[in-house]
Amino acid sequence: MSKVVIDFYHDVLCVWCFLTSARLRRISQDFPQIEVNHHAFALAPDSNSISQMFGGAANGKKEILGHWSAAAAHPDGEKINVGLMREREFPYPYSMPGLLACKAAQFQGGMAAHWNMFDRVQKAHAVEANNITDPEVLMSCAVDIGLDPARWELDFKSPAARQAVEADLAKAHKFGVNAVPTLIFNQQWVLPGAVPETALRQVIENLLADRDYLAATLKYSF
């Protein structure tokens, strides 16, 4: 196989996606045969989602920061700032503004810009503990990665951005994606969870070598 296409489903809120993105960045540098496509997934679609899922905003934040602590203990999670987010007084963010921000970046600079914006928004969220539902925070992220801020703002507020997010959510449903991070290889093999980098590399090597036991590897190794 000469090329591996990876569809990366992620949410800006997801600290396990933070780990997976860093691993894919390194792997893609070593394997030029990889193409990574980015897709939005909304763990908490609207401002009421956290309260509804956890029986209150405070309970939700406490539960979520438990996941932050777990992710921070893994490789690539060292910069996750649990303590700083715990101190923040704003409500724990919801997904949609950050997802729209990434789509607006994609409209301007393709998948590379989507990935850059995703990583920058995640840094704002998980490392800097900023409120990524604040349009000014998101605008700052867009500027930081070199986007035209005026165009980005127009795209961010456009119906097209929301339609693009909704299209990704429909694709996720089609492939049975119900959590993130999830990677789909060549639109055939679905790999959920924050998979260790060594295992990801093995999967890609198997695909490139057309090894018959790839499906078994995906099913049983992680």
Kindly report the CATH number assigned to the domain that includes residue 132. 3.40.30.10
DSSP 123: I
pLDDT digits (tens, 9 = 90+) for 120-151: 999 999 999 999 999 999 999 999 999 999 99
Tokens of 155: 């795209």
Quote the number of domains for the chain. 1
Is 156 within 8 Å of 101 (Cβ atoms)? yes
Residue 161's domain comprises: 4-220
Strands 34-40 and 4-10: parallel
Is the link from the previous residue into 32 a cis peptide, with omega within 30 of 0?
A: no
- Both tokens of 189, joined, read 């093999």
**Cβ-based neighbours of 70, under 8 Å, separated by 6 or more:** none
Whether the model pTM is above 0.85: yes
Name residues of the chain where pLDDT drops below 50: 213, 215-216, 219-222
Residue 217: its pLDDT value, please?
A: 52
In sequence order, what are the beta bridge partners of 34?
A: 4
Structure token digits, residue 120 = 């920058």
